[in-house]
Amino acid sequence: MLSNLRICAVGHQTISSVHINNICCYKVRASLKRLKPHVPLGRNYSSLPGLIGNDIKSLHSIINPPIAKIRNIGIMAHIDAGKTTTTERILYYSGYTRSLGDVDDGDTVTDFMAQERERGITIQSAAVTFDWKGYRVNLIDTPGHVDFTLEVERCLRVLDGAVAIFDASVGVEAQTLTVWRQADKHNIPRICFLNKMDKTGASFKYAVESIREKLKAKPLLLQLPIGEAKTFKGVVDVVTKEKLLWNSNSNDGKDFERKPLLEMSDPELLKETTEARNALIEQVADLDDEFADLVLEEFSENFDLLPAEKLQTAIHRVTLAQTAVPVLCGSALKNKGIQPLLDAVTVYLPSPEERNYEFLERISRLLLPFADQHVEIPSLTAGNIALTVGLKHTATGDTIVSSKSSALAAARRAEREGEKKHRQNNEAERVLLAGVEIPEPVFFCTIEPPSVSKQPDLEHALKCLQREDPSLKVRLDPDSGQTVLCGMGELHIEIIHDRIKREYGLETYLGPLQVAYRETILNSVRATDTLDRTLGDKRHLVTVEVEARPIETSSVTPVIEYAESISEGLLKVSKEAIESGIHSACLQGPLLGSPVQDVAITLYSLTVHPGTSTTMISACVSRCVQKALKKADKQVLEPLMNLEVTVARDYLSPVLADLAQRRGNIQEIQTRQDNKVVIGFVPLADIMGYSTVLRTLTSGSATFALELSTYQAMNSQDQNTLLNRRSGLT
């Protein structure tokens, strides 16, 4: 029985993708050329290209692994930490691909969009399924660039666990903090992988410290690196006291040597590992009472006698409770440390069962993704990924249920659980499916089809893209009649433009990129208005009096109040019309036509002639509110961004000088290895096109992250310049 589906990404051409229970289902269109045949040849499968009958697993093992052996995990990190490279290694070692893909060569499986391959970045999440030592792992590689935050969020809400990847030479970076917070919100157990241990400047200690300090997490060091940067050779498994060494002559890292540490051959390393293991045991005992009892009763005299499996089970519980995070390390590029990372995923991250979802599922037509091919399957157990086709009215972030009664039952149960929430470890949150938070778009630009006859095609393309990506907003400019795209950043809009061309065959024209300003009022004002219109033999007559006043909310949704004199009876029939009128008036402020923020509207009087339609009431209220807003003293608000620039010491001065010219407000300059990290605020209007400027200023050695902080009042000089520019005076 189908009781709960989560829709994750829909709308691209004919395939819609759904979440079944806690599982994410995405379109996967990776190239099949390097896929190893893991699909049984049969009635439905013979059409898959490149599949041979010999090296295949049984249908049962492919479609229905026991739920305890399923891991649904995401990979998350700051841009360029190495998610895609790590995923490629994982696919290779698990036998899913035959050769190693490389982001720098543009031939990875998960970065399958043309733009991803060209730019070497991940934009859309991709899902792949593979088996590792008897476990089924459904893995999602998510984008790291801030413009695609929503894509990360919609993945996280359905995962059972995640691997957070860090660049070991920089530790925690700006976007890591964002995705970490998102994972906290969705209660996702995590393990950390300190990647790039081979890189100059890599520091295990520094990266661990940054996890402790910046993420406020308790790192459990399950490994120690053997060597660092150029000398990085392998890792020590602290839990088992073994050393794992990769052969430096091997070009794919498939084979490695695992040996117990011995007093004779490695006295120093053994001593260091024993100390690390003892510290780990104490740390876990502090966090887990059951383990503490075991250690105290049986092993307090000698921690060496504590079996590795007992320690692993306790670490699993602590990871699940999210009171600490296991930390591992390696180098994806140099093919070291990936196999133990996979082991850790199966040992420490939870199965769907442990995450306490209790639905069973059934839908009419199910497809299983095998890269860009889909195999129809009759049924699927909870905890798996599948696709369904043809959902027309469902968009990313929606939850669908089989019937109204099952939805009500889920809501009732959530309510009951909510009452015991504090006792039951957020049971209600586990049952209810979290919505996605859609960030505010800060940029917009007009978009034109190649000819008027192509306008319907453009509208169709934008509709599909919006269903997939709710952070893209599309609206019609009421003055010019033009279509306006609103997005998260320059790159976001550029990619949308590119996708319209490649996927929908439409060559569109973008207007100049503009900042999404807001407006507010500075004093209280009252206005009255009357609308008197006769349509046919019917007279519509409304008189309204409203007050608009400034309040502090940081929201574009106006607060609506009613004076006591407004009759209950009148409100009953016309409340909806009144509020829709107020909302529509506040969408377009009198200064720039931007949304009005921080206002309260009070309705003081309303008289309505009998027979007046609600549309006329709405129109009159809207006009009256606009009149009031126009009368008030007004203020433009501009988006202020949090900026973090990481730059080599030598280039710090030109970067600071440039930021000073951009109205930048520097809060702090940190030292990170050989780099300086500049943290501050800068108005969005002054930071457009910054990536090109920064590249030129620093010979390509700097990176930056940008995120909306707040909307702030513009000073009067800047505001006048902007208003004059908009009205064409300058």
Ligand X SMILES: Nc1nc2c(ncn2[C@@H]2O[C@H](COP(=O)(O)OP(=O)(O)OP(=O)(O)O)[C@@H](O)[C@H]2O)c(=O)[nH]1
Give the shortest CB-73-to-ligand X separation in angstroms. Answer: 15
469 binds ligand X (CB under 6 A): no
126 binds ligand X (CB under 6 A): no
- Binding residues for ligand X, total number by CB under 6 A: 24
Name the residue nearer to ligand X (CB basis): 196 or 430: 196
Question: For the chain, how far is it from start to end, CA to CA, in angstroms?
Answer: 65
249 annotated as belonging to a binding site for a ligand: no
144 binds ligand X (CB under 6 A): yes
Site for ligand X in 563-592 (CB under 6 A): none
Draw the binding track, 67-96, toward ligand X (x: CB under 6 A; -: no contact). Answer: ----------x-xxxxxxx-----------
- The span of 138-146, 382-390, 524-532, 638-646 binding ligand X (CB under 6 A) equals 138-146
195 binds ligand X (CB under 6 A): yes
176 binds ligand X (CB under 6 A): no
* Alpha carbon separation from 398 to 63, 264, 293, 435 (Å, rounded): 25, 61, 45, 7
Which of 137, 324, 333, 436 is in the footprint of ligand X by CB under 6 A? 333
* Token pair belonging to 110: 């998960």
Listed in sequence order, the residues at least 6 apart from 221 whose beta carbon sits closer than 8 Å to its beta carbon are 208, 238, 276, 279, 280, 327
14 annotated as belonging to a binding site for a ligand: no
532 annotated as belonging to a binding site for a ligand: no
Beta bridge partners of 711: 639
Give the shortest CB-168-to-ligand X separation in angstroms. Answer: 8
In the DSSP assignment, the letter for residue 655 is H
* Alpha carbon separation from 481 to 13, 494, 509, 513 (Å, rounded): 27, 22, 15, 17
Task: With beta carbons less than 8 A apart as the criterion, state whether 25 and 385 touch.
Answer: yes
Give the shortest CB-148-to-ligand X separation in angstroms. Answer: 9
Query: Where does residue 478 rank: exposed (0-12), middle (13-18), buried (19+ CB within 10 A)?
Result: exposed
Name the residue nearer to ligand X (CB basis): 220 or 333: 333
What gap in Å lies between CA 658 and CA 694, rounded to an integer?
Answer: 9
Task: With beta carbons less than 8 A apart as the criterion, state whether 494 and 501 touch.
Answer: no
Coil, strand or helix at 521: strand
Which of 199, 492, 497, 549 is in the footprint of ligand X by CB under 6 A? 199
* Alpha carbon separation from 390 to 387, 637, 664, 711 (Å, rounded): 10, 42, 48, 40
505 annotated as belonging to a binding site for a ligand: no
198 binds ligand X (CB under 6 A): yes
Of the candidates 279, 278, 355, the residue with the CA atom closest to the CA atom of residue 316: 355
501 annotated as belonging to a binding site for a ligand: no
Amino acid at 137: V
Give the shortest CB-673-to-ligand X separation in angstroms. Answer: 14
81 annotated as belonging to a binding site for a ligand: yes
Which of 97, 182, 331, 719 is in the footprint of ligand X by CB under 6 A? 331
518 binds ligand X (CB under 6 A): no
Amino acid at 682: V
Which of 121, 329, 527, 678 is in the footprint of ligand X by CB under 6 A? 121
Beta bridge partners of 446: 484
- The span of 47-55, 191-199, 612-620, 665-673 binding ligand X (CB under 6 A) equals 191-199
78 annotated as belonging to a binding site for a ligand: yes
- The span of 32-40, 115-123, 254-262, 688-696 binding ligand X (CB under 6 A) equals 115-123
Residue found under tokens 């499986």: 109
Give the shortest CB-112-to-ligand X separation in angstroms. Answer: 12
* Token pair belonging to 252: 């794919």
170 binds ligand X (CB under 6 A): no
595 binds ligand X (CB under 6 A): no
82 annotated as belonging to a binding site for a ligand: yes
Name the residue nearer to ligand X (CB basis): 97 or 122: 122
Which of 37, 120, 511, 680 is in the footprint of ligand X by CB under 6 A? 120
* Token pair belonging to 375: 């195999």
Give the shortest CB-650-to-ligand X separation in angstroms. Answer: 21
What gap in Å lies between CA 137 and CA 112, rounded to an integer?
Answer: 20
- The span of 29-37, 155-163, 332-340, 408-416 binding ligand X (CB under 6 A) equals 332-340
Give the shortest CB-676-to-ligand X separation in angstroms. Answer: 21
- The span of 119-127, 288-296, 609-617, 647-655 binding ligand X (CB under 6 A) equals 119-127
Task: With beta carbons less than 8 A apart as the criterion, state whether 3 and 389 touch.
Answer: no
325 binds ligand X (CB under 6 A): no
Give the shortest CB-63-to-ligand X separation in angstroms. Answer: 29
147 binds ligand X (CB under 6 A): no
Give the shortest CB-200-to-ligand X separation in angstroms. Answer: 8
Which of 5, 103, 150, 495 is in the footprint of ligand X by CB under 6 A? 103
83 annotated as belonging to a binding site for a ligand: yes
Give the shortest CB-701-to-ligand X separation in angstroms. Answer: 14
Q: What angle do CA 31, 36, 42 make, to 5 degrees?
A: 100
Name the residue nearer to ligand X (CB basis): 342 or 542: 342
Burial 592-621 (b: 16+ CB within 10 A, else e): bebbbbbbebbbbebebeeebebebbbbbb
Draw the binding track, 597-616, toward ligand X (x: CB under 6 A; -: no contact). Answer: --------------------
Task: With beta carbons less than 8 A apart as the criterion, state whether 3 and 401 touch.
Answer: yes
Residue 663: count of CB within 10 angstroms of its CB? 16
- The span of 141-149, 435-443, 481-489, 604-612 binding ligand X (CB under 6 A) equals 141-149
What gap in Å lies between CA 682 and CA 539, rounded to an integer?
Answer: 54
What gap in Å lies between CA 307 and CA 510, rounded to an integer?
Answer: 64
The pair phi, psi for residue 546, each rounded to 5°, is -130, 160
Which of 73, 235, 311, 332 is in the footprint of ligand X by CB under 6 A? 332
DSSP string, 95-143: TSBSS---TTTT--SS--SHHHHHHT---S-EEEEEEETTEEEEEEE--
Beta bridge partners of 74: 140, 162
Name the residue nearer to ligand X (CB basis): 116 or 519: 116
Give the shortest CB-80-to-ligand X separation in angstroms. Answer: 4
Give the shortest CB-113-to-ligand X separation in angstroms. Answer: 11
Give the shortest CB-709-to-ligand X separation in angstroms. Answer: 22
Residue 414: count of CB within 10 angstroms of its CB? 17
Distance of CA 112 to the CA centre of its chain: 18
Distance of CA 75 to the CA centre of its chain: 11
7 annotated as belonging to a binding site for a ligand: no
Beta bridge partners of 520: 635
374 binds ligand X (CB under 6 A): no
Residues that bind ligand X (CB under 6 A): 77, 79-85, 103-104, 120-122, 143-145, 195-196, 198-199, 331-334
Binding residues: 77-84, 141-145, 195-198
Binding residues for GTP: 77-84, 141-145, 195-198
